[in-house]
Chain A
Amino acid sequence: MEVRGSTVQPAEAIARNTLLVKVRSQLAQIPLLGWLFGTLTAMAIEQVAGRLLARALGLSGVPGLFGLRIMLTKPALIPSAVAYVLLVYALPTLIVARLSAPLANRLAKLLLDRFPLWVSLVVHLGLLYATLHLWGGTSAYRMLFLSFIFISIILTLSLNLVNGYMGEFSCSHPGFMAMGAYVASILTVLFFVQDDVFGAPLLPPALGPFLFPLALIGGGLVAAVGALLVAIPSFRTRGDYLAIISLAFLFIVKSVIENLEIIGGPRGLMNQPKWANLPTVFAWTAICVWTIYNFTRSTIGKAACAVRDDETAAGTMTINTRRTKMVTFLFAAFWAGVAGGLFAHVMGYINPGTFDVKKLSEVLAMVYLGGLNSVVGSIAGAFGIQLLMEVLRPLELFKWIVIPVLLIVLMILRPTGLIAFTEVNVEDLLKPRQKLEKGR
């Protein structure tokens, strides 16, 4: 430590230190609301001037994913891409967030003091959605990217319930997802679409978007019933044998679907109406995060954690371990089914090959990279891996070497995942920020 101190000029060190402190104290005053104002402005700027600016910087169009892909494919354009990101996203966000900080603080305080917590939460979510809508609205590619991120978040959260909170190693999630996807698709195609196999629509198609949530719930419920097949053996066995049972379940589901000629067999099922647009997916994700967050803090969620730590001890402490396992499994499977239903209606086409072992390793990686027992960790994991897969797409085959190697290195450096066993307090997140005290 002293060696380092002697090599740096003291005055310079102090100057840099104060600058850092200044920047940090400036940023620490901005509440979440202020950041959202900032990003919203940045997106609005992109809407208005993005294309023009991109042309002026020599880019062929508005960069799809913050210029990350451009940097990989055309190294010559890196300065322009960085300049674009700075000018359009970073600077406006920072400036607006800082300038609006006093107002945002007052507003956040007002919202928290005068209204119940959920009003404030809804306002934040609304602003977040507006930002995403503006960002995703510019291209179908971004829209699809966002939808996949949200679906991955639902999947990861629901798998985290079983693998993290309850401590089992379940491999059946792609199976639940497939069940949800197929049931929801069959419901919508049967009732609202003119199809070769399922015939004329039974209900007026105009009703479809309104009854679509019911189809999703139906898919989720069927997935939950399927989960009984895995949950009931889990009464007698734990951990590793359950991993095999769930793996066998996954293969059975996939194989059964491949053998059912009426739903397309291995060719897959198509003609799903693309009703899972961004607002729908966003709303379902918000509901999912909310319910799972509350589930983990409820009595039964705590009971699941107790079962994970020691099943026998939990049983002697009057926890009904069977009921806990059953409810957690079914609940998780329900959300995996909903995710599947959404996936089917984003793509407009599904086939059994999607829900295989590869999907399983993807979801497992998201859960374990993000961190067990953490809603925030799951969101981070799903977002991180989905972004990585999309950004590295220009590498083609090489992507499947880079991503696994990255994940191995990350796993070795942080064996429990990025954010494990920690949770964010929502109220702390939303509350207004104070100025940093002098001298801190």
Chain B
Amino acid sequence: MTLATFFQHLLNALQWGSFYALIALGYSMVYGVLMLFNFTHGDIFMVGAYIGFFVSSGLVALSSLGIIALPGWLILALTIIIAMFLTSFVGMLVERVGYRPLRGAPRASAAITGLMIGIVLETGNLKLLGAQRRHFPILIETQSYQLGPVTVTNTKIMIVFLSLLLTLALHQFVRRTKWGMAMRAMAYDFVVVPLMGVPLNTIAALTFGLGSALAAAAGIFFGIAYPILEPYMGLLVGWKAFVAAILGGRGSILGAALAGFLLGFIEIFVAAVFPSTLRDVIAYSIILIILTFRPHGFFGEPYSAQLRL
């Protein structure tokens, strides 16, 4: 591998990893605060992508009809904001329907309802919108820049940059604000902290909402990079991001993002060196080895996970 192709792959890996990182953040937050697996999250990513698709298509139609003339970058910005906002409600709805009624139940029961809501979302999408694939509208022209032998596109730069920005914003939110403090307290002990007057249900809804908003951003970025949407797109990416989230360590936002990028790197570079069919084998084997030697992930505290069964 020459240096030029190395940097080319590095850029692709950064882009690919930023999807994983953004989705993994949602898994990691829910897991950190509520100690639950949110198995719906991959499908929320899909829903976010579809919401982004409809919002952007609507805005494009509006501006092409001449009602409000908007430049492409403004449409994109509006799409990201509106889709994140709407998808966060989807996440809160999932929490309300599938997780809150099972608060006192075995943890695994909530995982099952999460899985089932995911199937409902996939099938509902297939039923409502039909089986044809949707093409995400092209909002900003892709421009390529030659940095020496490496080709850089503006969309890649934007995706990586915005993903890092969102990750850091979330990190700051959790570290600096009162809400973030409540979330961290809940992650520390969700039996005692509600007794101190922190509203558990509100914090849970907030956690789901924030995670879902980030998943929506990931969905839109995915739609920009690979402009084909289908109902089952959340399955593969979602499960891999789940693995990344746990690999990062419980409740560690930077850990989840780092693991997401790492997974992206592993996958892209394995596919570059070996036949691409071996990608999953090698990627997961590396994860297995990492977890064997660091069983609590990168930044996770070694703790005894009491399964509330």
Contacts and interface: CB of A to CB of B under 8 A. Distances in A.
Contact of B291 (A241, A252, A417): A241
B106 interface: yes
Contact of A255 (B116, B122, B246, B280): B280
Contacts of A357: 235, 239
B102 A412 contact: yes
For the residues of B in contact with A, the DSSP-based class is helix
Given A256-B281, A259-B281, A411-B112, A238 B304 contact: yes
A241 B295 contact: yes
Given A244-B243, A252-B284, A312-B304, A237 B108 contact: no
A311 B243 CA distance: 25
Contact of A244 (B117, B123, B247): B247
A416 B105 contact: yes
Interface in A229-283: 229, 232-233, 236-241, 243-245, 247-249, 251-252, 254-256, 258-259
Nearest to A259: B277
A338 interface: no
A169 B250 CA distance: 16
Contacts, number: 149
A336 B37 CA distance: 24
B61 interface: no
B62 interface: no
A385 B284 CA distance: 31
A410 B106 CA distance: 14
Contact of B243 (A247, A368, A411): A247
Contacts of A238: 304-305, 307
B256 to A, nearest CB: 13
Given A252-B281, A368-B108, A408 B295 contact: no
The number of chain A residues touching the other chain, given as a range, is: 35 or more
Nearest to A254: B280
A232 to B, nearest CB: 8
A372 B108 CA distance: 10
B120 interface: yes
Interface stretch (A73-81, A129-137, A141-149, A395-403): A395-403
Contacts of A369: 112
B106 A236 contact: no
A169 B109 contact: no
A281 B56 CA distance: 54
A167 interface: yes
Contacts of B250: 240
Interface in B254-309: 277-281, 284-285, 287-288, 291-292, 295-297, 304-307, 309
Contact of A411 (B109, B242, B247): B109
A91 B37 CA distance: 48
B204 interface: no
B120 A401 contact: yes
Contacts of A255: 277-281, 284
B116 A249 contact: no
A306 interface: no
A249 B305 CA distance: 21
A228 to B, nearest CB: 12
A415 interface: yes
A407 interface: yes
A392 to B, nearest CB: 12
Interface in B92-143: 97-98, 101-102, 104-106, 108-109, 111-113, 115-117, 119-120, 122-124, 126-127
B112 A248 contact: no
Contacts of A229: 288
A75 B127 CA distance: 23
B31 interface: yes
A408 B291 contact: no
A397 B113 contact: no
Interface in B36-69: 37
B1 to A, nearest CB: 22
A365 interface: yes
A397 B120 CA distance: 11
Interface in A380-414: 397-398, 400-401, 403-405, 407-408, 411-412
A167 B112 contact: no
Interface of A: 163, 167-169, 229, 232-233, 236-241, 243-245, 247-249, 251-252, 254-256, 258-259, 308, 311-312, 357, 361, 364-365, 368-369, 372, 397-398, 400-401, 403-405, 407-408, 411-412, 415-417
Given A233-B291, A364-B108, 18 more contacts: A163-B108, A233-B292, A236-B292, A240-B246, A240-B250, A244-B243, A248-B284, A248-B288, A255-B280, A364-B112, A368-B106, A397-B127, A403-B119, A404-B120, A408-B113, A411-B109, A415-B104, A416-B105
6 contacts: A241-B291, A244-B287, A364-B115, A397-B123, A400-B120, A405-B116
The 5 closest A-B pairs by CB, nearest first: A415-B105, A237-B295, A404-B116, A239-B305, A255-B280
